[in-house]
C-alpha cells in the first residue's frame, strides 16, 4: 500500500484549512516521526545520486560542470521525499518544488524534519568532499 500523498493533494488540503494552527498541525502530520531512521546506505546512495546529476567531469578534462542551483533543488526534494510522506515526482521534481515553494511550504516542512536529517547532511557533505578529492587526484594524474 502506498501511504504517500501527492504534492498537489497535500497543497489543496492545506489551503482549504482555515486556522493557522490547524495548518501547522497538518504539515506536522506529513513529517516522519522524530525517531525515524533512514539506513546509512540509503542516505549515501541518495547523496551520490544528487552529486551524480550535478557534478560532471566534462570529457575527462580539467573542467567540472557544477550546477549549484540544481543541487539545491534536488537536495530539498530528496530530503522531503525521504523524511515525509509526500510523494515528490523525481522525474518532474521542479514542478513539485515550485508548488511547495509558491505556497510557502518548503521552510515549514524543512524546520520540522526529524533529527536524522543531520546525519543525512553529514553523509551528503562527506560524499561531496570525496567527489572533489577523487577528481583532484585524477587531475594530478594520481590514482
What is the domain partition of the chain in residue ranges? Answer: 5-139
Give the residue, 54 or 88, on which the prediction is more confident: 88
Element (H, E) at 64: strand 64-66
pLDDT of 140: 45
CA torsion through residues 14, 108, 125, 83, sign: negative
pLDDT digits (tens, 9 = 90+) for 7-23: 999 999 999 999 999 99
pLDDT of 24: 96
Mean pLDDT (the chain, rounded): 87
pLDDT digits (tens, 9 = 90+) for 56-65: 655 555 556 7
Q: Is the pLDDT of residue 42 over 60?
A: yes
Amino acid at each position: 500500500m502506498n501511504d504517500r500523498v501527492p504534492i498537489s493533494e497535500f497543497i489543496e488540503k492545506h489551503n482549504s484549512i482555515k486556522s493557522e494552527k490547524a495548518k501547522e498541525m497538518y504539515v506536522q502530520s506529513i513529517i516522519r516521526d522524530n525517531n525515524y531512521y533512514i539506513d546509512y546506505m540509503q542516505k549515501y546512495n541518495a547523496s551520490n545520486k544528487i552529486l551524480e546529476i550535478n557534478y560532471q567531469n566534462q570529457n575527462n578534462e580539467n573542467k567540472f560542470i557544477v550546477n549549484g542551483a540544481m543541487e539545491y533543488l534536488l537536495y530539498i526534494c530528496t530530503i522531503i521525499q525521504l523524511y515525509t510522506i509526500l510523494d515528490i515526482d523525481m522525474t518532474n521534481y521542479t514542478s513539485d518544488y515550485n508548488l511547495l515553494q509558491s505556497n510557502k511550504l518548503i521552510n515549514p516542512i524543512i524546520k520540522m524534519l526529524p533529527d536524522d536529517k543531520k546525519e543525512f547532511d553529514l553523509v551528503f557533505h562527506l560524499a561531496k568532499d570525496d567527489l572533489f578529492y577523487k577528481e583532484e587526484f585524477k587531475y594530478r594524474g594520481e590514482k
